[in-house]
A and B are shown apart, each in its own frame.
Chain A
């Protein structure tokens, strides 16, 4: 099973700042199968990025994904108030899906 480790656990930033979230895999992940989700309190997660770098429908262009192999990054260029949430990376391989433990982006 591929283990995804996200860092940092918590990111304290101010609106307008840039957020950089990391997701590291225990073994190489097919880029086509790496996704990012956003979850706000009391809500279901929402798909942000798929195929490591493609934005899902309706996702603003301040969200971007990059990376390959074992290292992937989610970048939010200018944090808006609605972006403060928990973010999860997720991969698929060998008929198994796994999630990272999440990064919380909180208001500083």
Chain B
């Protein structure tokens, strides 16, 4: 069974940093691209960042470019998102998702809530 388990969310002050992690299991992690998708409270879905199977290619949405860094460790089956210079509008549930291979996301974690507030 495919499982994606996020961790690392919490309350953080504006301007500070936070690192999210996602532990993957139940599939060959290194064979799939991965992404982070977020959802602000009561709002829609926003793709945040993606990474290729080997980690050599990374992609970012305009709203987080230059502030967030995605990475993966295929030896540990983990995906990370380093979030710097956090702002109030980064407040959201962050989902770890598996890229099915056709530009869509076939498995989602349950999400971890990040709240940016003073």
| Chain A residues packing against B (C-beta within 8 Å) | 1, 30, 32-33, 35, 37, 39, 44-47, 50-51, 56, 88, 90-93, 95-102
Q: How many residues of B contact A (CB 8 A)?
A: 21
Count of A-B contacts with CB under 8 A?
A: 64
- Cα A19 to Cα B58 with chains together (Å): 38
A45 to chain B, nearest CB (A): 6
| Cβ 8 A contact of A45, one of B35, B45, B102, B103 | B45
Given contacts A1-B62, A44-B111, contact A99 B44 (CB under 8 A): yes
- Cα A97 to Cα B105 with chains together (Å): 10
Contacts of A35 in B (CB 8 A): 102-105
Contact A96 B59 (CB under 8 A): yes
| Cβ 8 A contact of A92, one of B104, B109, B111 | B104
- Cα A92 to Cα B97 with chains together (Å): 14
Which of B84-117 touch A at CB < 8 Å?
95, 100, 102-106, 108-111
- Cα A35 to Cα B104 with chains together (Å): 6
Contact A33 B45 (CB under 8 A): no
A88 to chain B, nearest CB (A): 6
Quick check: is B73 within 8 A (CB to CB) of the other chain? no
Contacts of A33 in B (CB 8 A): 102-104
A58 to chain B, nearest CB (A): 11
A8 to chain B, nearest CB (A): 15
- Cα A92 to Cα B104 with chains together (Å): 7
A98 to chain B: closest residue by CB = B47
Given contacts A1-B62, A45-B45, A88-B44, contact A97 B103 (CB under 8 A): yes
